[in-house]
């Protein structure tokens, strides 16, 4: 059907630009992470904690994607790391071209790790390659334990799963073991971390993994 051909054409153009982004990042020796989740999972808080843990150990930069406002970019800027805000004006995901335009605003020669915080959405970002080395999906305990089954494409395309807001488990109807089991059914190769931005639990382990595998 024509609509299928149009979709393929759009995604092919995106993939072509993503390939260029990937070549540039590899040439500059920058490891790029595409951080994805539903809205309200705590991505930005996790990002803040991760930056605080890694500052002085590696050089980081951030690309922030939001439907509206630069509020998250303001939060990251206060940590004194390079940050570029992308406002999609209603679009539910970042595309490779938007990231390509943002990359020219960052001095990649001084960066070890680039974290792209995608728009809060577990559907569209699964299909759009940005040129990243890996996708990291954040699922909070407040979302329940069936999230991987509802959005399998995102969990299938991710390399790392971070289960956030672990401090709230006693107050929720969320079985963390079942959440992990559901995720591993979709993608048996997922590396899983459990974190809480309120207590700091798991942040050091996640950050140390980054430092060991990227630095």
Q: Which residue has the higher pLDDT, 160 or 92?
A: 160
Q: List, in sequence order, the alpha helices (H) in 55-165.
A: 71-77, 96-103, 147-150, 152-157
φ, ψ at 192 (rounded to 5°):
-115, 135
| pLDDT score, position 88 | 87
> Mean of the pLDDT values across residues 66-89?
91
Residues 6+ away with beta carbon under 8 Å from 128: 11, 14, 18, 93, 94, 95, 96
Rounded distance between C-alpha atoms, residue 141 and residue 166, angstroms: 6
Residue-wise pLDDT tens digits, 156-209: 999 999 999 999 999 999 999 999 999 999 999 999 999 999 999 999 999 999
- At 67, the pLDDT band (50, 70, 90 cuts) reads confident
| pLDDT score, position 215 | 58
| Domain CATH for 114 | 3.40.50.300
| pLDDT score, position 3 | 45
Residues 6+ away with beta carbon under 8 Å from 101: none
Does 8 score more than 80 pLDDT?
no
Does 1 score more than 90 pLDDT?
no
Q: Is 39 left (phi over 0), alpha (psi -120 to 50) or beta?
A: beta
Does 151 score more than 70 pLDDT?
yes
- At 89, the pLDDT band (50, 70, 90 cuts) reads confident
In the chain, DSSP finds a helix count (H) and a strand count (E) of: 8, 7
| pLDDT score, position 214 | 82
| pLDDT score, position 51 | 97
Q: How far apart are the first and last CA of the chain?
A: 47
Residues 6+ away with beta carbon under 8 Å from 74: none
Q: DSSP character for 89?
A: T
| pLDDT score, position 69 | 80
Residue 28 three-state SS: coil
Domain that holds residue 20: 2-214
Does 71 score more than 70 pLDDT?
yes
Residues 6+ away with beta carbon under 8 Å from 76: 44, 47, 48, 51, 62, 64, 83
For 100, the token pair is 């390509």
Give the DSSP letter string of 192-207: EEE--TTT-TTHHHHH
| pLDDT score, position 84 | 96
Q: Is the pTM of this model over 0.85?
A: yes
Q: Positive or negative, the Cα torsion across 14, 19, 25, 30?
A: positive
State how many domains the chain has.
Answer: 1
């Amino acid at each position: 059907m024509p609509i299928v051909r149009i979709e393929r054409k759009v995604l092919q153009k995106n993939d072509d630009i993503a390939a260029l982004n990937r070549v540039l990042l590899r040439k500059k020796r920058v490891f790029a992470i595409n951080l994805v989740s539903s809205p309200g999972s705590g991505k930005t808080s996790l990002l803040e904690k991760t930056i605080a843990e890694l500052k002085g150990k590696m050089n980081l930069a951030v690309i922030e994607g939001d439907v509206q406002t630069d509020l998250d970019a303001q939060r990251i800027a206060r940590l004194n790391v390079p940050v570029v805000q992308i406002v999609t004006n209603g679009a539910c995901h970042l595309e490779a071209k938007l990231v390509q335009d943002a990359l020219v605003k960052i001095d990649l020669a001084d960066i070890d790790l680039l974290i792209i915080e995608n728009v809060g959405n577990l559907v569209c970002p699964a299909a759009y390659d940005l040129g990243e080395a890996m996708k990291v999906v954040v699922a909070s305990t407040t979302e329940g334990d069936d999230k991987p089954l509802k959005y399998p494409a995102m969990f299938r395309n991710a390399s790392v799963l971070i289960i956030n807001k672990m401090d709230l488990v006693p107050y929720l109807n969320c079985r963390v073991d079942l959440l992990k089991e559901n995720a591993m059914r979709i993608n048996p190769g997922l590396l899983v971390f459990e974190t809480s931005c309120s207590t700091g639990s798991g942040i050091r382990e996640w950050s140390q993994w980054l430092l060991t595998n990227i630095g």
